[in-house]
Structure 1
Amino acid sequence: MRAGLIVFLSFALLAGLVLIFVQPGQQDPSPEPTDPAIALLAGARAELLGQPRSPSSGRAPLAAARKHLSAGRPERARELILGELEGAWSAEAYYLLGILESRARLWQRAVEALERSLAPGARYPEKSIAPFRLGRALEETGRIPAARVAYRLDHDLSGDGEALFRLGLLDIEAGQFAQARTQLEDALRRFTQGPDRARTFAALSDICLEGDDLAGARKLLEEAVALRPHPELLHRLARVCRRMGDGEAADRHTLAAQGLQGG
């Protein structure tokens, strides 16, 4: 009787230990919290879609800060902007601060400023392009889902190809090549400037290379080089030609790239 009780208690103790040490590991992990920037951008979407371009606040310091930014005098612009971060015009000041921080590649600080620039109800001329600026900063800080939301909003607001191009690059990085091709081809139809089209052709060539389509990649890079004979593009084209066994073309493109590089 006593021996049976001891065996029963031993099994009960073992079962308790199993519950203690195994059960938590079997639970589903908690879902990752939603990036707060996504909610901010949802509010901005509701406010900005269909809204006409807003006027400037007319604040003289902010007008002067814009001129300093355009003239490449960031420190003078910063002095003026920092004095304007309070008041009804603060969102406009934070937008300009976000531009400053982005140009300095201080991406986390840029995110913080640009999020403030999208304050509900604030009105200033660049508010409709603030989502794209925020998207770039979010992308650089690794907040990719929020960056995607920002780029989609910018595309809906502007209708140009830049946001589609950025979305295409993100899709390439994620290995979503079919979706990337769709985004980039749509961007290509919207771009009119040679350099923009050239970088889009180059991005499309990366998708071809992922699928070992050397002929397709070569054709796209030739299109890119025709629009913008840049050394990097020429070197990329040369590498593809060499992989295809066309050493003569590879050497020709390499020499052209070296000529543009000054040697």
Structure 2
Amino acid sequence: MTVSSADIALAEQLADSARAAILPYFRAPHGLEAKADKSPVTLADRAAEEAMRKLLIAERPMDAIAGEEFGEREGASGRRWVLDPIDGTRAFIAGRPIFGTLIALLEDGWPVLGIIDQPILKERWLGVVGRPTTLNGAPATTRRCREIGEALLATTSPALFDDGQLHAFEHLDGQVLSTVLGGDCYNYACLASGHLDIVVEAQLKLHDFAALVPVVEGAGGRMCDWAGDPLTATSNGEVIAAGDPARVEEILDALACRGH
């Protein structure tokens, strides 16, 4: 699986186009609506994804596209661009700059490139398989965590877990130093830069996690599902990110208690 300099440049262009589409709507009228699943969507979500899709169709007509707002476009290259124009729409509508645009490139179902872009703070994490992760061009590195009792854990909301998942998360929560709630994709960016140690979530869709994998792993961390398996296009949406890969087995052991 290879990622070319042209792939990276295109991904940066996609992030630039999404950023330009989002900025006019932040802390401004944004046309909030509720989707069929009751989740929020704004004009900014749609404008950002439309801008990225237009660019991809022009530049990579053979590649597939999967976006949160406008669904799937089939391709014939074995490559798929996965787009989440605003991950953390609730934070966006609240005027909180902890949302992000997620852009991933998958080859045969494996994430090989990922971007987390925070347009308000002008922060961009870029992860590419086989290369170190960068934040605005400078190296981003996870931190070591000597034991799980020293870890800072994050999740977007316990309400997103089912009963068994919540029981497992609470078991892990009882073993760490402290837990932070809220954050969506920005938690993974903070983990990649050494400010958090563990992020655990469930019920995620491909557009929620695909871009995160190259970012976290290129910074020295590890991502997997709750069984310890790598995250791919067929994963079930249970996600672990660990800044220190040495802590993964302890995290898995804690989460294995669901339903007990």
Question: TM-score scaled by structure 2?
Answer: 0.32
Higher helix share: 1
Between structure 1 and structure 2, the one with the greater Rg is 1
